[in-house]
Copies of this chain bind each other. A is one copy, B any other.
Amino acid sequence: MTPRELWERYKGLLCDDPGLGVRLDLSRAGLGDEALAQREVAAQAALDAMAALEGGAIANPDENRMVGHYWLRAAGMAPTPEIAGAIRDTQARVFDFASRVHDGRVRPPSAERFRRVLVVGIGGSALGPQLLADALGGPGDRLSPHFLDNTDPDGIDRGLGALGEGLGETLVVVISKSGGTAETRNGLVEAAAAYRARGLDFGAHAVAITREGSVLDRQAREQGFLARLPMWDWVGGRTSVTSAVGLLPAALQGIDVGALLAGAAAMDEATRRRETRRNPAALLALAWHALGEGRGSKAMVVLPYKDRLLLFSRYLQQLVMESIGKERDLAGRVVHQGLTVYGNKGSTDQHAFVQQLRDGTPDFFVTFVRVLRDREGASLEVEPGATSGDFLDGFLLGTRRALFESGRPSVTITIGDLTPRSLGMLIALYERTVGLYASLIGINAYHQPGVEAGKKAAASILELQRRVVAALLERGVAGGTCEELARATGAPDEAETVFHLLERLAANPDRGVAKRPGPSPWEAVYSAR
Protein backbone atom coordinates (compact mmCIF):
# COMPACT_ATOMS: atom_id res chain seq x y z
CA MET A 1 0.00 0.00 0.00
CA THR A 2 1.43 3.39 -0.98
CA PRO A 3 1.55 6.20 1.58
CA ARG A 4 -1.25 7.96 -0.28
CA GLU A 5 -3.45 4.89 -0.26
CA LEU A 6 -2.74 4.54 3.42
CA TRP A 7 -3.72 8.16 4.01
CA GLU A 8 -7.01 7.55 2.17
CA ARG A 9 -7.54 4.45 4.24
CA TYR A 10 -6.85 6.43 7.40
CA LYS A 11 -9.45 9.03 6.40
CA GLY A 12 -11.92 6.40 5.31
CA LEU A 13 -11.76 4.38 8.51
CA LEU A 14 -11.24 7.10 11.10
CA CYS A 15 -13.89 7.18 13.77
CA ASP A 16 -13.81 10.76 14.89
CA ASP A 17 -16.23 12.58 17.09
CA PRO A 18 -15.40 16.21 17.76
CA GLY A 19 -17.93 16.27 20.58
CA LEU A 20 -16.08 13.48 22.36
CA GLY A 21 -12.56 14.48 21.46
CA VAL A 22 -11.66 10.79 21.05
CA ARG A 23 -10.35 9.43 17.78
CA LEU A 24 -10.14 5.77 16.90
CA ASP A 25 -7.76 4.91 14.07
CA LEU A 26 -7.98 1.42 12.64
CA SER A 27 -5.99 2.11 9.49
CA ARG A 28 -3.13 -0.08 10.73
CA ALA A 29 -5.33 -2.82 12.10
CA GLY A 30 -5.68 -4.78 8.89
CA LEU A 31 -9.42 -4.19 9.01
CA GLY A 32 -10.83 -3.34 5.60
CA ASP A 33 -14.30 -2.68 4.27
CA GLU A 34 -14.80 -6.38 3.55
CA ALA A 35 -13.92 -7.41 7.09
CA LEU A 36 -16.47 -4.92 8.38
CA ALA A 37 -19.14 -5.93 5.89
CA GLN A 38 -18.68 -9.62 6.70
CA ARG A 39 -19.29 -8.93 10.36
CA GLU A 40 -22.13 -6.44 10.03
CA VAL A 41 -24.88 -8.92 10.87
CA ALA A 42 -22.97 -10.12 13.92
CA ALA A 43 -22.29 -6.52 14.94
CA GLN A 44 -25.98 -5.68 14.78
CA ALA A 45 -26.80 -8.74 16.87
CA ALA A 46 -24.23 -7.66 19.43
CA LEU A 47 -25.76 -4.20 19.53
CA ASP A 48 -29.18 -5.81 20.00
CA ALA A 49 -27.86 -7.85 22.91
CA MET A 50 -26.31 -4.73 24.38
CA ALA A 51 -29.61 -2.85 24.07
CA ALA A 52 -31.35 -5.71 25.86
CA LEU A 53 -28.67 -5.65 28.57
CA GLU A 54 -29.15 -1.93 29.05
CA GLY A 55 -32.87 -2.54 29.21
CA GLY A 56 -32.46 -4.82 32.20
CA ALA A 57 -32.23 -8.28 30.63
CA ILE A 58 -30.53 -11.06 32.59
CA ALA A 59 -27.28 -10.58 30.66
CA ASN A 60 -25.34 -12.66 33.17
CA PRO A 61 -27.38 -15.87 33.02
CA ASP A 62 -25.01 -18.06 35.07
CA GLU A 63 -25.50 -15.81 38.05
CA ASN A 64 -29.05 -14.85 37.08
CA ARG A 65 -28.14 -11.18 37.20
CA MET A 66 -28.75 -8.00 35.31
CA VAL A 67 -25.68 -6.04 34.19
CA GLY A 68 -26.11 -2.39 34.97
CA HIS A 69 -22.84 -0.49 34.94
CA TYR A 70 -24.11 1.74 32.12
CA TRP A 71 -27.01 2.91 34.29
CA LEU A 72 -24.48 4.38 36.71
CA ARG A 73 -23.89 7.11 34.12
CA ALA A 74 -27.52 7.47 33.07
CA ALA A 75 -29.77 6.62 35.99
CA GLY A 76 -32.79 7.40 33.85
CA MET A 77 -32.06 4.28 31.79
CA ALA A 78 -32.29 1.94 34.79
CA PRO A 79 -35.08 -0.61 34.43
CA THR A 80 -36.89 0.33 37.66
CA PRO A 81 -37.42 3.58 39.54
CA GLU A 82 -35.91 1.90 42.61
CA ILE A 83 -32.61 1.27 40.83
CA ALA A 84 -32.57 4.76 39.34
CA GLY A 85 -33.23 6.20 42.78
CA ALA A 86 -30.52 4.09 44.39
CA ILE A 87 -27.97 5.27 41.82
CA ARG A 88 -28.86 8.94 42.24
CA ASP A 89 -29.03 8.68 45.99
CA THR A 90 -25.64 6.94 46.20
CA GLN A 91 -23.95 9.50 43.97
CA ALA A 92 -25.41 12.31 46.04
CA ARG A 93 -24.16 10.64 49.20
CA VAL A 94 -20.67 10.22 47.71
CA PHE A 95 -20.49 13.91 46.80
CA ASP A 96 -21.88 14.94 50.14
CA PHE A 97 -19.64 12.69 52.19
CA ALA A 98 -16.52 13.82 50.32
CA SER A 99 -17.41 17.46 50.77
CA ARG A 100 -18.02 16.94 54.49
CA VAL A 101 -14.64 15.25 54.82
CA HIS A 102 -12.98 18.05 52.90
CA ASP A 103 -14.41 20.83 55.02
CA GLY A 104 -13.90 18.95 58.27
CA ARG A 105 -17.52 18.27 59.16
CA VAL A 106 -16.59 14.62 59.03
CA ARG A 107 -13.35 14.40 60.95
CA PRO A 108 -11.37 11.86 62.90
CA PRO A 109 -11.73 11.82 66.71
CA SER A 110 -8.11 12.74 67.39
CA ALA A 111 -7.16 15.03 64.51
CA GLU A 112 -8.57 18.08 62.83
CA ARG A 113 -8.92 16.59 59.38
CA PHE A 114 -8.67 13.43 57.40
CA ARG A 115 -5.60 13.85 55.21
CA ARG A 116 -5.21 10.36 53.76
CA VAL A 117 -7.52 7.73 52.38
CA LEU A 118 -6.62 4.03 52.57
CA VAL A 119 -8.59 1.83 50.21
CA VAL A 120 -8.77 -1.84 51.21
CA GLY A 121 -9.91 -3.98 48.29
CA ILE A 122 -8.71 -6.37 45.61
CA GLY A 123 -9.38 -6.93 41.91
CA GLY A 124 -12.06 -4.58 40.63
CA SER A 125 -12.33 -3.09 44.09
CA ALA A 126 -8.74 -1.89 43.93
CA LEU A 127 -7.59 -1.48 40.35
CA GLY A 128 -10.33 0.95 39.32
CA PRO A 129 -9.66 3.27 42.28
CA GLN A 130 -5.89 2.87 41.75
CA LEU A 131 -6.21 3.84 38.09
CA LEU A 132 -8.16 6.99 38.92
CA ALA A 133 -5.79 7.90 41.74
CA ASP A 134 -2.68 7.54 39.64
CA ALA A 135 -4.01 8.95 36.38
CA LEU A 136 -5.77 11.97 37.83
CA GLY A 137 -4.12 12.72 41.15
CA GLY A 138 -1.47 15.28 41.82
CA PRO A 139 0.03 17.68 44.29
CA GLY A 140 -3.36 19.30 44.90
CA ASP A 141 -4.93 16.10 46.25
CA ARG A 142 -7.31 16.79 49.12
CA LEU A 143 -6.56 13.39 50.63
CA SER A 144 -3.55 11.38 49.54
CA PRO A 145 -4.47 7.91 48.29
CA HIS A 146 -3.10 4.63 49.70
CA PHE A 147 -4.05 1.02 49.00
CA LEU A 148 -4.03 -2.45 50.54
CA ASP A 149 -4.75 -4.75 47.59
CA ASN A 150 -3.52 -8.15 48.71
CA THR A 151 -3.18 -10.51 51.67
CA ASP A 152 0.62 -10.32 51.72
CA PRO A 153 1.62 -9.72 55.36
CA ASP A 154 4.75 -7.80 54.41
CA GLY A 155 2.76 -5.78 51.89
CA ILE A 156 0.22 -4.94 54.57
CA ASP A 157 3.01 -3.90 56.94
CA ARG A 158 4.45 -1.68 54.24
CA GLY A 159 1.11 -0.14 53.42
CA LEU A 160 0.26 0.58 57.04
CA GLY A 161 3.85 1.56 57.80
CA ALA A 162 3.72 4.23 55.09
CA LEU A 163 0.85 5.82 56.99
CA GLY A 164 2.86 5.68 60.20
CA GLU A 165 1.92 8.43 62.59
CA GLY A 166 -0.71 9.57 60.11
CA LEU A 167 -3.03 6.67 60.91
CA GLY A 168 -5.24 8.88 63.03
CA GLU A 169 -5.75 11.19 60.04
CA THR A 170 -6.48 8.32 57.67
CA LEU A 171 -9.93 7.41 56.43
CA VAL A 172 -10.20 3.71 55.55
CA VAL A 173 -12.53 2.72 52.72
CA VAL A 174 -13.17 -1.03 52.75
CA ILE A 175 -14.58 -2.36 49.49
CA SER A 176 -15.99 -5.84 49.09
CA LYS A 177 -19.29 -6.69 47.45
CA SER A 178 -19.83 -9.93 49.32
CA GLY A 179 -17.87 -8.83 52.34
CA GLY A 180 -16.32 -12.29 52.24
CA THR A 181 -13.35 -11.80 49.93
CA ALA A 182 -10.52 -13.17 52.05
CA GLU A 183 -7.80 -10.74 50.97
CA THR A 184 -9.97 -7.73 51.75
CA ARG A 185 -11.26 -9.19 55.00
CA ASN A 186 -7.65 -9.84 56.05
CA GLY A 187 -6.57 -6.31 55.15
CA LEU A 188 -9.49 -4.99 57.15
CA VAL A 189 -8.61 -7.11 60.19
CA GLU A 190 -4.97 -6.05 60.04
CA ALA A 191 -5.81 -2.37 59.53
CA ALA A 192 -8.30 -2.43 62.39
CA ALA A 193 -5.65 -4.01 64.63
CA ALA A 194 -3.22 -1.22 63.73
CA TYR A 195 -5.79 1.39 64.77
CA ARG A 196 -6.49 -0.43 68.02
CA ALA A 197 -2.76 -0.73 68.73
CA ARG A 198 -2.61 3.07 68.63
CA GLY A 199 -5.64 3.43 70.82
CA LEU A 200 -7.78 4.63 67.94
CA ASP A 201 -11.41 3.66 67.35
CA PHE A 202 -11.37 1.98 63.94
CA GLY A 203 -15.05 2.50 63.17
CA ALA A 204 -14.66 6.24 63.58
CA HIS A 205 -12.16 6.16 60.71
CA ALA A 206 -13.91 3.71 58.40
CA VAL A 207 -16.35 3.54 55.52
CA ALA A 208 -17.72 0.35 53.97
CA ILE A 209 -18.75 -0.12 50.36
CA THR A 210 -20.57 -3.42 50.19
CA ARG A 211 -23.81 -5.22 49.45
CA GLU A 212 -26.52 -4.40 51.93
CA GLY A 213 -26.73 -7.12 54.53
CA SER A 214 -23.27 -8.56 53.87
CA VAL A 215 -20.90 -9.55 56.67
CA LEU A 216 -19.01 -6.33 56.08
CA ASP A 217 -22.23 -4.32 56.14
CA ARG A 218 -23.16 -5.82 59.50
CA GLN A 219 -19.71 -5.17 60.88
CA ALA A 220 -19.88 -1.55 59.69
CA ARG A 221 -23.21 -1.13 61.43
CA GLU A 222 -22.03 -2.69 64.66
CA GLN A 223 -18.75 -0.79 64.79
CA GLY A 224 -20.31 2.53 63.88
CA PHE A 225 -18.50 3.14 60.60
CA LEU A 226 -18.76 6.72 59.33
CA ALA A 227 -20.71 5.60 56.29
CA ARG A 228 -21.98 2.58 54.42
CA LEU A 229 -22.40 2.76 50.66
CA PRO A 230 -23.96 0.10 48.48
CA MET A 231 -22.58 -2.29 45.88
CA TRP A 232 -25.28 -3.93 43.84
CA ASP A 233 -25.30 -7.39 42.40
CA TRP A 234 -25.88 -5.88 38.97
CA VAL A 235 -22.46 -4.20 38.99
CA GLY A 236 -19.42 -6.45 38.61
CA GLY A 237 -16.15 -5.62 40.32
CA ARG A 238 -14.24 -5.00 37.08
CA THR A 239 -16.90 -2.56 35.90
CA SER A 240 -17.46 -0.87 39.25
CA VAL A 241 -15.23 2.15 38.78
CA THR A 242 -18.17 4.48 38.08
CA SER A 243 -20.04 3.16 41.13
CA ALA A 244 -19.23 4.24 44.68
CA VAL A 245 -16.23 1.89 44.45
CA GLY A 246 -14.36 4.25 42.16
CA LEU A 247 -16.21 7.47 42.89
CA LEU A 248 -15.78 7.70 46.65
CA PRO A 249 -11.99 7.30 46.84
CA ALA A 250 -11.56 9.62 43.85
CA ALA A 251 -13.94 12.23 45.22
CA LEU A 252 -12.12 12.13 48.56
CA GLN A 253 -8.85 12.65 46.72
CA GLY A 254 -10.39 15.72 45.10
CA ILE A 255 -10.85 14.37 41.58
CA ASP A 256 -13.76 15.76 39.58
CA VAL A 257 -15.83 12.59 39.51
CA GLY A 258 -18.76 14.45 37.99
CA ALA A 259 -16.63 15.03 34.89
CA LEU A 260 -15.58 11.37 34.92
CA LEU A 261 -19.23 10.31 34.92
CA ALA A 262 -20.10 12.84 32.22
CA GLY A 263 -17.27 11.55 30.04
CA ALA A 264 -18.42 7.98 30.50
CA ALA A 265 -22.01 9.00 29.73
CA ALA A 266 -20.95 10.77 26.54
CA MET A 267 -19.02 7.71 25.39
CA ASP A 268 -21.95 5.49 26.32
CA GLU A 269 -24.16 7.52 23.99
CA ALA A 270 -21.65 7.36 21.15
CA THR A 271 -21.25 3.61 21.58
CA ARG A 272 -25.00 2.98 21.41
CA ARG A 273 -25.05 4.08 17.78
CA ARG A 274 -26.38 1.40 15.47
CA GLU A 275 -24.20 2.63 12.64
CA THR A 276 -21.07 0.53 13.11
CA ARG A 277 -18.79 2.99 11.38
CA ARG A 278 -19.72 5.73 13.81
CA ASN A 279 -19.63 3.57 16.93
CA PRO A 280 -16.05 3.37 18.28
CA ALA A 281 -16.78 0.41 20.58
CA ALA A 282 -18.38 -1.57 17.80
CA LEU A 283 -15.44 -0.84 15.50
CA LEU A 284 -12.95 -1.80 18.16
CA ALA A 285 -14.80 -5.03 18.94
CA LEU A 286 -14.82 -5.89 15.25
CA ALA A 287 -11.12 -5.13 15.03
CA TRP A 288 -10.43 -7.47 17.96
CA HIS A 289 -12.50 -10.11 16.23
CA ALA A 290 -10.76 -9.74 12.89
CA LEU A 291 -7.26 -9.48 14.38
CA GLY A 292 -7.64 -12.47 16.68
CA GLU A 293 -9.77 -14.55 14.33
CA GLY A 294 -12.50 -14.63 16.95
CA ARG A 295 -10.38 -16.69 19.31
CA GLY A 296 -7.85 -14.24 20.71
CA SER A 297 -5.02 -15.59 18.57
CA LYS A 298 -3.16 -12.31 18.98
CA ALA A 299 -2.40 -10.70 22.34
CA MET A 300 -3.35 -7.07 22.82
CA VAL A 301 -0.35 -5.01 23.85
CA VAL A 302 -1.47 -1.73 25.42
CA LEU A 303 0.98 1.13 25.12
CA PRO A 304 -0.19 4.46 26.46
CA TYR A 305 2.43 7.12 25.78
CA LYS A 306 1.70 8.93 29.04
CA ASP A 307 3.14 8.02 32.41
CA ARG A 308 -0.17 8.68 34.15
CA LEU A 309 -1.76 5.89 32.13
CA LEU A 310 0.69 3.22 33.29
CA LEU A 311 -2.08 1.45 35.18
CA PHE A 312 -4.49 1.67 32.26
CA SER A 313 -2.77 -1.32 30.66
CA ARG A 314 -3.21 -3.32 33.84
CA TYR A 315 -6.78 -2.11 34.23
CA LEU A 316 -7.58 -3.32 30.71
CA GLN A 317 -5.78 -6.57 31.41
CA GLN A 318 -8.22 -7.21 34.23
CA LEU A 319 -11.29 -5.92 32.40
CA VAL A 320 -10.63 -7.86 29.22
CA MET A 321 -9.09 -11.11 30.46
CA GLU A 322 -11.51 -11.63 33.33
CA SER A 323 -14.43 -10.92 31.01
CA ILE A 324 -13.28 -12.82 27.93
CA GLY A 325 -11.21 -15.69 29.37
CA LYS A 326 -13.94 -18.33 29.59
CA GLU A 327 -14.15 -22.09 29.25
CA ARG A 328 -17.63 -22.26 27.75
CA ASP A 329 -19.77 -20.21 25.44
CA LEU A 330 -23.34 -19.21 26.20
CA ALA A 331 -24.59 -22.46 24.70
CA GLY A 332 -22.41 -24.43 27.12
CA ARG A 333 -19.87 -25.60 24.55
CA VAL A 334 -16.22 -25.80 25.62
CA VAL A 335 -14.46 -23.02 23.72
CA HIS A 336 -11.53 -21.88 25.93
CA GLN A 337 -11.79 -18.28 24.86
CA GLY A 338 -9.39 -15.55 25.85
CA LEU A 339 -7.75 -12.31 24.84
CA THR A 340 -4.39 -11.75 26.48
CA VAL A 341 -3.55 -8.17 27.44
CA TYR A 342 -0.26 -6.79 28.66
CA GLY A 343 1.80 -3.60 28.47
CA ASN A 344 3.05 -0.74 30.55
CA LYS A 345 3.80 2.56 28.87
CA GLY A 346 5.62 4.10 25.94
CA SER A 347 8.25 5.02 25.22
CA THR A 348 9.68 3.21 28.27
CA ASP A 349 8.61 -0.17 26.94
CA GLN A 350 10.48 0.56 23.70
CA HIS A 351 13.61 -0.06 25.72
CA ALA A 352 12.21 -3.34 26.97
CA PHE A 353 9.84 -5.74 25.26
CA VAL A 354 9.18 -3.70 22.11
CA GLN A 355 12.33 -5.36 20.73
CA GLN A 356 10.30 -8.56 20.56
CA LEU A 357 7.29 -6.78 19.08
CA ARG A 358 9.35 -5.38 16.24
CA ASP A 359 11.47 -8.40 15.43
CA GLY A 360 10.01 -11.44 17.15
CA THR A 361 6.90 -13.57 17.04
CA PRO A 362 4.04 -11.72 15.30
CA ASP A 363 1.50 -12.93 17.85
CA PHE A 364 0.03 -9.61 18.98
CA PHE A 365 -1.46 -6.30 18.01
CA VAL A 366 -0.65 -3.02 19.70
CA THR A 367 -3.08 -0.48 21.07
CA PHE A 368 -1.41 2.91 21.15
CA VAL A 369 -2.97 5.51 23.40
CA ARG A 370 -1.91 8.97 22.28
CA VAL A 371 -2.49 12.14 24.30
CA LEU A 372 -2.05 15.36 22.36
CA ARG A 373 -1.52 17.71 25.27
CA ASP A 374 1.98 17.39 26.73
CA ARG A 375 1.78 19.11 30.09
CA GLU A 376 0.51 22.05 32.04
CA GLY A 377 2.54 25.09 31.06
CA ALA A 378 5.24 25.53 28.48
CA SER A 379 8.03 23.18 27.46
CA LEU A 380 11.68 23.97 27.18
CA GLU A 381 13.64 22.88 24.14
CA VAL A 382 15.78 19.86 24.88
CA GLU A 383 17.52 20.43 21.57
CA PRO A 384 16.91 23.13 18.96
CA GLY A 385 13.24 23.09 17.97
CA ALA A 386 12.35 19.93 19.91
CA THR A 387 10.75 19.30 23.29
CA SER A 388 10.54 16.19 25.46
CA GLY A 389 7.00 15.78 24.21
CA ASP A 390 8.10 15.92 20.59
CA PHE A 391 10.32 12.94 21.31
CA LEU A 392 7.57 11.07 23.13
CA ASP A 393 5.19 11.51 20.22
CA GLY A 394 7.94 10.84 17.70
CA PHE A 395 8.58 7.49 19.36
CA LEU A 396 4.90 6.66 19.20
CA LEU A 397 4.49 7.59 15.55
CA GLY A 398 7.78 5.98 14.60
CA THR A 399 6.93 2.73 16.34
CA ARG A 400 3.43 2.66 14.86
CA ARG A 401 4.90 3.08 11.40
CA ALA A 402 7.71 0.56 11.84
CA LEU A 403 5.34 -2.09 13.23
CA PHE A 404 2.98 -1.60 10.33
CA GLU A 405 5.77 -1.85 7.81
CA SER A 406 6.81 -5.20 9.26
CA GLY A 407 3.25 -6.52 9.24
CA ARG A 408 2.44 -5.98 12.90
CA PRO A 409 -1.02 -4.46 13.27
CA SER A 410 -1.98 -1.68 15.62
CA VAL A 411 -4.91 0.42 16.76
CA THR A 412 -4.43 4.03 17.84
CA ILE A 413 -6.71 5.90 20.20
CA THR A 414 -6.09 9.62 20.47
CA ILE A 415 -7.41 11.98 23.12
CA GLY A 416 -6.76 15.69 23.43
CA ASP A 417 -5.79 15.71 27.06
CA LEU A 418 -5.89 13.35 29.99
CA THR A 419 -8.68 14.62 32.23
CA PRO A 420 -11.41 13.08 34.38
CA ARG A 421 -13.70 13.46 31.39
CA SER A 422 -11.44 11.78 28.85
CA LEU A 423 -10.50 8.98 31.24
CA GLY A 424 -14.21 8.38 31.81
CA MET A 425 -14.57 8.08 28.06
CA LEU A 426 -11.71 5.61 27.72
CA ILE A 427 -13.13 3.45 30.50
CA ALA A 428 -16.61 3.47 28.99
CA LEU A 429 -15.21 2.75 25.53
CA TYR A 430 -13.52 -0.42 26.74
CA GLU A 431 -16.40 -1.56 28.91
CA ARG A 432 -18.64 -1.42 25.87
CA THR A 433 -16.07 -2.96 23.55
CA VAL A 434 -15.64 -5.94 25.88
CA GLY A 435 -19.41 -6.44 26.02
CA LEU A 436 -19.83 -6.26 22.26
CA TYR A 437 -16.85 -8.52 21.62
CA ALA A 438 -18.25 -11.07 24.08
CA SER A 439 -21.44 -11.10 22.04
CA LEU A 440 -19.51 -11.60 18.82
CA ILE A 441 -17.87 -14.72 20.26
CA GLY A 442 -20.96 -15.82 22.16
CA ILE A 443 -19.73 -15.82 25.75
CA ASN A 444 -20.89 -14.42 29.08
CA ALA A 445 -18.57 -11.51 29.86
CA TYR A 446 -20.01 -10.88 33.29
CA HIS A 447 -19.20 -13.86 35.46
CA GLN A 448 -15.87 -15.27 36.71
CA PRO A 449 -16.27 -18.92 37.64
CA GLY A 450 -12.50 -19.45 37.74
CA VAL A 451 -12.09 -16.87 40.47
CA GLU A 452 -14.65 -18.66 42.60
CA ALA A 453 -12.90 -21.98 41.95
CA GLY A 454 -9.59 -20.43 43.05
CA LYS A 455 -11.13 -19.39 46.34
CA LYS A 456 -12.35 -22.92 46.94
CA ALA A 457 -8.98 -24.47 46.13
CA ALA A 458 -7.32 -22.16 48.65
CA ALA A 459 -9.91 -22.98 51.30
CA SER A 460 -9.15 -26.68 51.03
CA ILE A 461 -5.41 -25.97 51.43
CA LEU A 462 -6.11 -23.93 54.57
CA GLU A 463 -8.28 -26.69 55.92
CA LEU A 464 -5.46 -29.19 55.40
CA GLN A 465 -3.07 -26.84 57.20
CA ARG A 466 -5.38 -26.75 60.22
CA ARG A 467 -5.36 -30.52 60.34
CA VAL A 468 -1.60 -30.71 60.00
CA VAL A 469 -1.08 -28.24 62.81
CA ALA A 470 -3.47 -30.24 65.00
CA ALA A 471 -1.56 -33.45 64.25
CA LEU A 472 1.70 -31.70 65.03
CA LEU A 473 0.44 -30.51 68.39
CA GLU A 474 -0.78 -33.98 69.21
CA ARG A 475 2.64 -35.48 68.51
CA GLY A 476 4.45 -32.88 70.59
CA VAL A 477 8.24 -32.73 70.44
CA ALA A 478 8.51 -36.09 68.68
CA GLY A 479 6.95 -34.61 65.58
CA GLY A 480 7.26 -36.33 62.25
CA THR A 481 8.17 -36.09 58.61
CA CYS A 482 5.78 -34.63 56.10
CA GLU A 483 4.75 -38.11 55.02
CA GLU A 484 4.12 -39.22 58.58
CA LEU A 485 2.12 -36.12 59.31
CA ALA A 486 0.12 -36.53 56.12
CA ARG A 487 -0.83 -40.01 57.27
CA ALA A 488 -1.57 -38.72 60.75
CA THR A 489 -4.04 -36.21 59.34
CA GLY A 490 -5.73 -38.98 57.41
CA ALA A 491 -4.53 -37.54 54.12
CA PRO A 492 -1.63 -39.77 53.05
CA ASP A 493 -2.08 -38.63 49.44
CA GLU A 494 -1.44 -35.05 50.46
CA ALA A 495 2.20 -35.55 51.50
CA GLU A 496 3.42 -33.00 49.01
CA THR A 497 1.08 -30.24 50.11
CA VAL A 498 1.79 -31.09 53.74
CA PHE A 499 5.48 -30.70 52.94
CA HIS A 500 4.90 -27.25 51.42
CA LEU A 501 2.77 -26.16 54.36
CA LEU A 502 5.29 -27.33 56.96
CA GLU A 503 8.20 -25.74 55.18
CA ARG A 504 6.47 -22.39 55.31
CA LEU A 505 5.27 -22.70 58.89
CA ALA A 506 8.81 -23.60 59.97
CA ALA A 507 10.17 -20.53 58.17
CA ASN A 508 8.00 -18.25 60.29
CA PRO A 509 9.22 -18.32 63.88
CA ASP A 510 5.90 -17.16 65.30
CA ARG A 511 4.06 -20.20 63.97
CA GLY A 512 5.34 -22.68 66.54
CA VAL A 513 6.79 -25.24 64.14
CA ALA A 514 10.36 -26.44 64.58
CA LYS A 515 12.26 -28.25 61.84
CA ARG A 516 15.20 -30.64 62.03
CA PRO A 517 16.74 -31.04 58.58
CA GLY A 518 17.07 -34.54 57.17
CA PRO A 519 19.22 -36.10 54.46
CA SER A 520 16.77 -34.81 51.87
CA PRO A 521 14.27 -31.94 52.08
CA TRP A 522 11.36 -34.37 52.49
CA GLU A 523 13.01 -36.24 55.32
CA ALA A 524 13.08 -33.23 57.61
CA VAL A 525 11.30 -33.74 60.92
CA TYR A 526 8.84 -31.10 62.07
CA SER A 527 7.57 -30.71 65.60
CA ALA A 528 5.68 -28.28 67.77
CA ARG A 529 8.03 -25.78 69.33
Residues of A in contact with B (beta carbons under 8 Å apart): 2-4, 6-7, 10-11, 14, 16, 18, 23, 122-124, 126-127, 138-139, 149-158, 161-162, 164, 181-183, 185-187, 189-190, 193, 237-238, 295-296, 299, 305-308, 314, 317-318, 321-322, 324-327, 336-342, 344-345, 347-348, 350-364, 372-380, 382, 385-395, 397-399, 401-402, 414, 416-418, 448-451, 453-454, 456-462, 465-466, 469, 493-497, 500-501, 503-504, 507-508, 510-511, 517, 520-522
Contact = CB atoms under 8 A, between A and B. Distances in A.
Contacts of A336: 359-362
Contacts of A123: 348, 350-352
Contacts of A356: 321-322, 324-326, 338-340, 450
- Identical subunits present: 2
A489 to B, nearest CB: 14
Closest 10 CB pairs of A and B: A325-B356, A123-B351, A155-B307, A398-B457, A325-B360, A338-B360, A358-B450, A338-B361, A372-B507, A342-B342
B321 A352 contact: yes
A268 to B, nearest CB: 23
A374 B153 contact: yes
B389 A153 contact: yes
A153 B382 CA distance: 11
A394 B508 contact: no
Contact of A351 (B122, B353, B394): B122
A238 B11 CA distance: 40
A150 B310 CA distance: 12
Contact of A348 (B122, B306, B324): B122
Contact of A374 (B150, B453, B508): B508
Contacts of A493: 2-4
Given A14-B521, A190-B382, A325-B360, 17 more contacts: A151-B388, A152-B307, A152-B392, A153-B379, A155-B307, A186-B391, A190-B380, A295-B361, A296-B360, A299-B340, A326-B355, A339-B356, A341-B353, A355-B451, A359-B449, A397-B497, A401-B497
Nearest to A491: B3
Contacts of A376: 154, 157
A352 B11 CA distance: 37
A495 B318 contact: no
27 contacts: A3-B493, A3-B494, A7-B495, A14-B521, A150-B345, A150-B347, A150-B392, A151-B389, A152-B306, A153-B374, A153-B388, A154-B308, A189-B380, A296-B360, A317-B353, A318-B353, A327-B359, A327-B360, A336-B361, A338-B361, A340-B364, A350-B454, A385-B466, A386-B466, A395-B458, A414-B503, A417-B507
